[in-house]
Amino acid sequence: MKQSLTRKLIESHLASGKPVAGEEIGLTVDQALLTDTNGTMAWLQFEAMGFQRVVPPCVVTYIDHNVYQVDSRNSDDHRYLQTAARRYGAVFSKPGNGICHQVHLESFSVPGQTLLGTDSHTPLCGAAGMLAIGAGGLDVAVAMGGGPYPFTMPEVVRVWLTGELQPWVTAKDVILELLRRLSVRGGTGKIFEYAGPGVAALSLPQRMTLANMGAELGLTTSVFPSDAVTRDYFRRLHRKHAWTSQAADDDAQYDDRFELDLAAVTPLVALPGSPDRVVPVAEVEGTKVEQVMVGSCTNGSWEDMWAVTQVLQGRHVHPDVSFVLFPGSHRILETMAREGLLADLLASGALISEPTCGSCAGIGHVPAAGTKSLRAFNRNFPGRSGVKGDEVYLASSVTAAASALTGAITDPRTAGTPASLYLPESFAASSAGLVTPDGQGEVIRGPNIKAVPLGEPVAERLEAPVLLKLGDKISTDDISPAGAAVLVFRSNIPAIAEFCFKYVDPEFAARAKAAGRGIVVAGEVYGQGSSREAAAIGPMYLGVRAVLAKSFARIHRANLINWGVVPLTFDDPSAYDALERDDRLRLDGLRQALAAGDRVSILDTRRGRRFSASCVLTARERDILLAGGLLAHTSKGGP
């Protein structure tokens, strides 16, 4: 059978199972990356499982979210991460060296290899012909110890691109168009493999933007061929030795197909609240904004920084606007300095931040209450910017730059004829921000690091109140908020658990502790967004034993199972409507039903009404869940 590139990558790394859509498979992992937000717990879990050294040939720990060291807690955790990386065989990327995905593609990506990361935007490296997947920290810890990564084989969808982007239209507009058509749940259970004549017209940074924000579609990952465009970019990175050609066979078989004419895409904007609330820029043109941001792992490339400079050159940022740029890596920032971009940007009134995730995760540059922010980032879930009631719009870098000049959302096509893209002949840069391991030294734990908790085995009977009833599209930001005040406790579960649902229901943590055991009820796509494991561990620590939802996001569902929280799906979605907070639900025979693969019978004791829910598990997932999570299962001698 003629094979897709995705299937070639999977079959060449297949450790277990059959690569049939809907069946569980296990993949060997060539590379792993850890962020500081989820990586601290991943290293603690790695140690808790007794591993002595990382097994994959390339493991890199990045300090890219919690860079600001306003007190000793971040510094203490940075020291732990650096000493753990050194001791166990991982490269360490220093604070300010850049965002994990951007740095990883520039310095470590290898077409044809697999990459597993503790961040949901790890698929960015799929732009270089890798199979790059985001996962929870515990899954990454197991992979670092040499275990395969288990997941359900997705459908492989060929996205056939034709045409070329029009002036002032960017890859960000393309992914927003896909979100407009498909929504944040449109990619669930799928891998997008890009193909067609339009692919050759996309630069590697443009492909990175598409692969990165595929996470917002709910995709498992996105895959691009490794072709002449990839080879040329690797040459400029002085990494041509790492390049290989990766492509699908002619007439390859796919589970589904989708077509998009790049020439038909226009500048778009996502309205506040969700990345899929997408409209043409004309519908919101003139909306006043007080803050404009460009960067993050989605739009922090040289290409983004260069395009912004062309828009701003010789002009000034509007007096009422704060305009901040976040280059994706130290390499990009160094190249900007060498090529003269910084002088023009500073003269225009733009601010240049350290290469970090920064305000994308609500860390720094939090907008003023009641104001609007326009960002060339990837997410705009409510409160993600660091303030409740925020209004964050998403757009391309050039739309953001044009709007920074006028003080209102502006169609970039009003800026005249754009200059042709200039690519430096060399992206060579200092490697001082990358520290190689020597296997020596003591692992140093600061006072903010607490023991990793264990989940409880699933009981035969669960009777507990509904602690919270939620709607659709609840993100991990809603469950365990972003922002400096919260993420500083990423290695301290008792402390970070106090912030669970803080901006949804400030009394949740206290109510959960008082109840002892609890259930959360939600609508569609529960747990979308970031892969942060605290959104599963925190509720578990507070006594949440089950989540009853219409559907789950992939990574969050896996995290719940890994921490012993039962992810139940309504058999009849209308049963959701009758439930209210404080209803008491009784799940008789829960453990037996999970073990047998049967539906779970649930009694709403307030109404005396029964309904059912399902928890479809693989044999591996069933054993882990019943034991109370992966660490509990491992401690009892499980694989």
Q: Domains, the chain, ranges and CATH?
A: 5-264 (3.30.499.10), 269-414 (3.30.499.10), 462-635 (3.20.19.10)
Number of Cβ within a 10 Å radius of residue 510: 12
The answer to whether residues 121 and 101 touch, using CB atoms and an 8 Å cutoff, is yes
Q: What is the pTM of this model?
A: 0.93
Q: pLDDT (tens digit, 9 = 90+) per residue, 241-264? A: 999 999 999 999 999 999 999 999
Please name the amino acid found at residue 387: V
Q: Does the structure show a pLDDT above 60 at 636?
A: no
Residues 6 or more apart in contact with residue 77 via CB below 8 angstroms: 36, 40, 66, 446, 448, 449, 490, 491
Give the pLDDT of residue 635: 65
Q: Token digits for 394? A: 């998403």
Give the pLDDT of residue 15: 97
The Cα–Cα gap between 183 and 208 comes to 20
Q: Token digits for 66? A: 């919690």
Q: Does the structure show a pLDDT above 80 at 484?
A: no
- Residue the block writes with tokens 């993600």: 384
Q: pLDDT (tens digit, 9 = 90+) per residue, 434-453? A: 999 999 999 999 898 988 99
DSSP string, 192-235: EEEESTTGGGS-HHHHHHHHHHGGGGT-SEEE--B-HHHHHHHH
Rg of the chain, C-alpha, whole Å: 23
Cα dihedral sign for 588, 594, 597, 599? Answer: positive
Q: Token digits for 141? A: 């810890």
Report the alpha-carbon angle 117-118-120, nearest 5. Answer: 85
Q: pLDDT (tens digit, 9 = 90+) per residue, 67-112? A: 877 788 888 999 999 999 999 999 999 999 999 999 999 999 999 9
Query: What three-state secondary structure class fits 8?
Result: helix
Query: What three-state secondary structure class fits 609?
Result: strand
Confidence of residue 141 (pLDDT cuts 50, 70, 90): very high
The b-or-e profile of 425-455 (16+ CB within 10 A means b, else e) is eebebeeebbbebeeeeebebbebbeebbbb
Q: pLDDT (tens digit, 9 = 90+) per residue, 584-612? A: 999 999 999 999 999 999 999 998 999 99
Give the pLDDT of residue 487: 78
The answer to whether residues 346 and 120 touch, using CB atoms and an 8 Å cutoff, is no
The Cα–Cα gap between 481 and 489 comes to 11
Cα-based distances in Å from 245 to 116, 253, 563: 21, 20, 40
Give the pLDDT of residue 483: 80
Report the alpha-carbon angle 52-555-215, nearest 5. Answer: 115
Strands (E), 410-565: 434-435, 462-469, 518-521, 544-549
Give the largest Cα separation in the chain, rounded.
72
Q: Does the structure show a pLDDT above 70 at 491?
A: yes
Alpha-helical regions (H) of 410-531: 476-479, 484-487, 493-497, 508-515
The answer to whether residues 184 and 216 touch, using CB atoms and an 8 Å cutoff, is yes
- Residue the block writes with tokens 């882990």: 624
Q: Token digits for 494? A: 């008792």
What is the DSSP pairing of strand 600-604 with strand 566-570? unpaired
DSSP string, 54-110: --SSEEEEE--SS---SSHHHHHHHHHHHHHHHHHT-EEEPTTSB-HHHHHHHHT--
The Cα–Cα gap between 537 and 549 comes to 18
Confidence of residue 417 (pLDDT cuts 50, 70, 90): confident
Lowest mean pLDDT among 70-74, 280-284, 302-306, 404-408: 70-74
Kindly state the percentage of the chain with pLDDT values over 90: 85
Q: What is the mean pLDDT of residues 276-303?
A: 96
The Cα–Cα gap between 397 and 323 comes to 12
Nearest alpha carbon to residue 424 among 182, 203, 595, 185: 203
Give the pLDDT of residue 557: 96
Q: Would you report the helix, strand and coil content of the chain in percent, each value rounded to 5?
A: 35, 20, 45
Lowest mean pLDDT among 1-15, 382-396, 582-596: 382-396
The Cα–Cα gap between 559 and 137 comes to 8
Give the pLDDT of residue 637: 55
263 HSE (CA, 13 A, CB side): 5
